[in-house]
């Protein structure tokens, strides 16, 4: 199901004489824009901080201004926006910003262009079949088997999950909310962390551990367990998941090392569960904002062992490739291929 295809470029030949397409990947903090070709490649990738502009329309206008010197003087024939939120109706509101994405308003801002909205993780799913072998790092053995599903999971701000299924019309991306399934510990330490998080949240989903805030939750829970065992008081001074990662990568905080180790182990277990549930013999791909930042730690962790640690079905998992995607701008690339494949 995975085949070689296009590369992301930083420049384009200009499109003064032809039609062109716009793609965007917009979250609560950052917005990325690019020009998309008819074949699904992207160029002129431009990044903005959401707080730079009062509205998404103004950010789009700024991007169009930046394109003019490259020969893109008109409006696009079509546009696809990958958005960090559920896609329902005309509008998408962002939890962490004041922006509101409206199909009708964006269409007017783009000269009545055709507008498509995609969930941001579904856009990542649309990019996966077009990656090359240099775009991922494989952990362990296994070979992709065509005509079977692919599973993609991505820990970042949350935990995204989607499935790719081949049909007679090509690859269909099936969106899911696997990050909100129940967390299931597999050893005593994870069970103790679950107890701490249950007291805090009630129900504990996988995303409560496999996300930026999830890494912080693991670290905080381990710190609380340390204090309980030693009889000490006082809370953790670490308030940013990036700090937990940095401390763990530097090896300067034993609890941070344990927290990131547990994060990687749980990631492996969840990836294996998804592979079993969906029969993902074409491969399991780990995307999202966190894995690439901890790649060296992840490669040396037990993520692959935990992926395979499924008792009687260990041999089933051993044949499935587990890959960490290292290519950037997947959301933009997926939005471009969504347009080039006839919005399917």
Give per-residue pLDDT as tens, 36-64: 998 899 999 999 999 999 999 999 999 99
Residue 235 pLDDT level (bands cut at 50, 70, 90) = low
Q: Which residue has the tokens 């990044």?
A: 47
Residue 8 pLDDT level (bands cut at 50, 70, 90) = very low
Mean pLDDT, residues 252-276 taken together: 97
Of the given ranges (95-109, 127-141, 193-207), which has the lowest mean pLDDT? 95-109
Question: Domain 21-125 carries which CATH code?
Answer: 3.30.420.40
Task: Give the model's pLDDT for residue 170.
Answer: 82
d(CA 246, CA 201): 26
Task: Give the model's pLDDT for residue 222.
Answer: 96
Q: Does 110 score more than 60 pLDDT? A: yes
d(CA 21, CA 42): 9
Of residues 251, 245, 237, 174, the one with CA closest to residue 211: 245
Of residues 133, 183, 139, 192, the one with CA closest to residue 159: 183
Concatenating the DSSP letter of every residue in 221-266 gives HHHHHHHHHHT---------HHHHHHHHHHT--HHHHHHHHHHHHH
Give per-residue pLDDT as tens, 26-39: 988 889 999 999 88
By percentage, how much of the chain surpasses pLDDT 90? 75
Q: In what side-by-side order are the strands of the sheet with 150-155?
A: 136-139, 322-325, 283-286, 150-155, 159-167, 170-176
Mean pLDDT, residues 322-330 taken together: 96
Q: Does 4 score more than 50 pLDDT? A: no
Task: Give the model's pLDDT for residue 229.
Answer: 82
Yes or no: say if 11 and 45 are a contact pair by the CB < 8 Å rule. Answer: no
Residue 276 pLDDT level (bands cut at 50, 70, 90) = very high
Where are the chain's structural domains?
Answer: 21-125, 134-326
- Nearest-5° Cα angle at 222, 218 to 223: 115
Task: Give the model's pLDDT for residue 236.
Answer: 62
Yes or no: say if 120 and 25 are a contact pair by the CB < 8 Å rule. Answer: yes
Mean pLDDT of the chain, nearest integer: 90
Mean pLDDT, residues 163-191 taken together: 92
Question: Domain 134-326 carries which CATH code?
Answer: 3.40.367.20
Of residues 143, 137, 136, the one with CA closest to residue 320: 143
Task: Give the model's pLDDT for residue 17.
Answer: 41
Residue 182 pLDDT level (bands cut at 50, 70, 90) = very high
Q: Does 95 score more than 80 pLDDT? A: no
Q: Does 273 score more than 90 pLDDT? A: yes
Task: Give the model's pLDDT for residue 131.
Answer: 95
d(CA 237, CA 2): 44
Task: Give the model's pLDDT for residue 329.
Answer: 94
d(CA 56, CA 297): 37
Give per-residue pLDDT as tens, 112-169: 889 999 999 999 999 999 999 999 999 999 999 988 999 999 999 889 999 999 887 7
Q: How far is CA 168 from CA 83, 266, 275, in A?
A: 28, 35, 23
Q: Which two tokens stand for residue 57?
A: 């329309």
């Amino acid at each position: 199901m995975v085949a070689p295809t296009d590369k992301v470029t930083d420049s384009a030949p200009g499109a003064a004489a032809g039609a062109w397409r716009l793609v965007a990947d917009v979250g609560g903090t950052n917005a990325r824009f690019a020009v998309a070709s008819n074949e699904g490649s992207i160029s002129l990738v431009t990044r903005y901080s959401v707080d730079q502009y009062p509205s998404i329309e103004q950010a789009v206008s700024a991007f169009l201004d930046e394109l003019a010197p490259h020969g893109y003087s008109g409006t696009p024939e079509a546009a696809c926006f990958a958005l960090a939120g559920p896609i329902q109706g005309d509008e998408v509101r962002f939890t962490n910003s004041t922006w509101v994405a409206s199909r009708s308003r964006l269409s007017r801002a783009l000269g009545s262009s055709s507008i498509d909205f995609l969930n941001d993780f579904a856009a990542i799913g649309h990019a996966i079949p077009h990656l090359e072998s240099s775009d991922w790092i494989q952990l362990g053995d296994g070979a992709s088997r065509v005509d079977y599903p692919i599973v993609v999971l991505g820990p970042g701000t949350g935990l995204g999950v989607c499935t790719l299924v081949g049909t007679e019309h090509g690859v269909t991306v099936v969106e899911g909310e696997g990050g909100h399934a129940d967390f299931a510990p597999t050893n005593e330490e994870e069970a103790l962390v679950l107890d701490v998080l249950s007291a805090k949240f009630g129900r504990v989903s996988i995303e409560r551990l496999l996300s930026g805030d999830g890494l912080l939750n693991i670290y905080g829970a381990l710190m609380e367990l340390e204090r309980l065992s030693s009889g000490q008081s006082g809370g953790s001074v670490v308030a940013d998941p990036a700090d937990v990662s940095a401390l763990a990568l530097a090896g300067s905080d034993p609890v941070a090392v344990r927290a990131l180790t547990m994060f990687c182990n749980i990631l492996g277990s969840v990836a294996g569960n998804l592979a079993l549930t969906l029969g993902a013999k074409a491969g399991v791909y780990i995307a999202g904002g966190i894995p690439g930042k901890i790649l060296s730690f992840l490669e040396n962790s037990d993520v692959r062992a935990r992926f395979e640690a499924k008792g009687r079905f260990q041999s089933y998992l051993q044949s499935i490739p587990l890959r960490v995607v290292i290519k950037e701008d997947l959301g933009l690339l997926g939005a471009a291929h969504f347009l080039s494949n006839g919005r399917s």
